[in-house]
Amino acid sequence: MPGNLSFAELKKAVSAGEIDTVLVCIVDMQGRLQGKRFHAVHFVEHGYEETHCCNYLLATDIEMYTVQGYEATSWKKGYGDYVMKPDLSTLRRIPWLPGTAMVTCDVLDHHTHEEVPHSPRAMLKRQVARARAMGFEPMMATELEFFLFDKSFDQMHDEGYRDLQTLGRYNTDYSIMGTSKEEPLMRAIRNGLYGAGIPVENSKGEAEAGQEEINVRYSDALDTADMHAIVKTGCKEIAHQHGRGLTFMAKYATDRAGSSSHIHQSLWTTDGKPAFLDKDADHGMSATMRHYMAGLLEHASDVTYFLAPYVNSYKRFCVGLFAPTKAVWSLDNRTAGYRVCGEGTKGIRVECRVGGADLNPYLAMAAQLAAGLDGVERKLKLEPEAKGDVYQAGRVREIPKTLRLSAERMRKSKMLRAAFGDGVIEHYHRAAQWEIEEQDRVVTDWEVKRGLERA
């Protein structure tokens, strides 16, 4: 659901001294919240209309380095301003930060006041508008996995991220007793997020030592992306307050399973009926659902970059660790990249299992929608279901094994260029190039350990 605080309620809370700070946030290319802390009085008097930020916020890498080679902004162009336009429907209280509210902003061009086309929120909004023009409302949910550590972020940083110890010492997948050890923190996370208007359903232990999963109720696509970004920030901030750290890296250790962000998706009619359901069809899958799934599969390699944006992302795709290696579909089969859930019910949906917890939810959902809607528009025929152990299936569509391959597929995709525009695709291809350049440049611990004496 959107934020839990109206502007009138905010003004009343500010007058009463209950709220003194408003976080005014945009989402960057990495899916993180960036912005300013407003004094609440100034926000309700003036700041609610708009504020500004440097346009490098949509042209930096994960370490906030000012990467060159972007057409949108550079040292040559002087790194000017973007307009941050608060979406007041997203106002919400942030219970784990005293006296604090938050609002999510759209990113506008400083001169034209049009939305910046490569801003993640604008990219998703464009695909949602496309779906609505076709008579559909995209509904989505994400499942986020992460690892909890027994030390704080600062301690891990100061120790060079070596000898990391998870809070849980063994696999506690679905274990009530095992996860009770993490419960002081996880309870704070669930309740804090719920108090911020995030309809948390549950948390659970995942299938690796120290790994947790948190689930939030499905909603419309934009709201789900907004909530996803807040969940990640909230988990980190609440963990910090408890003296702990956590990571949403896709793969933080060679000998551990990775962390995913599965994306559940379906189309509903504008009058509230499940467009993916046809009880008289095989498995209850309507023609619309079959066309949508066919689009996801035809463009699976093209959209992988938006599901796996870093070099590290591709180290999660391992046989036998519940991350997929094949971009095929199956019924309730966790070895396939795309799984049909809720067979024959109004909750029938596609679960994309490709994405890692490091994805940007706006970009990932926008790309999924672009691919699926292309299938609906072109009435693509769905290929036969993959059955059994898909890891061992031969001669089927594979998920690209490296960022380099994914970036090239994205850049050459006519579908993505039509959906997002040439400038947007070139922008994110540059982001991928930089990540690859850094990988190629940096000497890793593995290389030194392997070759220092033996080479």
pLDDT surpasses 90 at 175: no
Contacts of 423 (CB under 8 A, 6+ apart): 71, 72, 117, 118
pLDDT surpasses 80 at 161: yes
Query: pLDDT-derived band of residue 3, with 50, 70 and 90 as boundaries?
Result: confident
- Listed ranges 297-301, 317-321, 393-397, 441-445; the one with the highest mean pLDDT: 297-301
pLDDT surpasses 70 at 1: no
Alpha carbons 197 and 2: distance in angstroms, whole number: 7
Contact 432, 29 (CB under 8 A): no
pLDDT, tens digit, 9 for 90 and up, residues 43-67: 999 999 999 999 999 999 999 999 9
* pLDDT at position 358: 97
User: CATH number of 7-118: 3.40.190.10, 3.10.20.70, 3.30.70.2660, 3.30.230.70?
Assistant: 3.10.20.70
pLDDT surpasses 90 at 208: no
What proportion of the chain, given as a percentage, has pLDDT over 90? 85
Alpha carbons 287 and 333: distance in angstroms, whole number: 21
Alpha carbons 337 and 341: distance in angstroms, whole number: 13
User: How many CB atoms within 10 Å of residue 269?
Assistant: 12
pLDDT, tens digit, 9 for 90 and up, residues 372-385: 999 999 999 999 98
Segment 192-196 shows an average pLDDT of: 97
> What are the boundaries of each domain within the chain?
7-118, 128-446
Helix (H, G, I), strand (E, B), or coil: what is residue 409? helix
* pLDDT at position 314: 95
Return the CATH number of the domain spanning residue range 128-446.
Answer: 3.30.590.10
pLDDT, tens digit, 9 for 90 and up, residues 107-138: 999 999 999 999 999 999 999 999 999 999 99
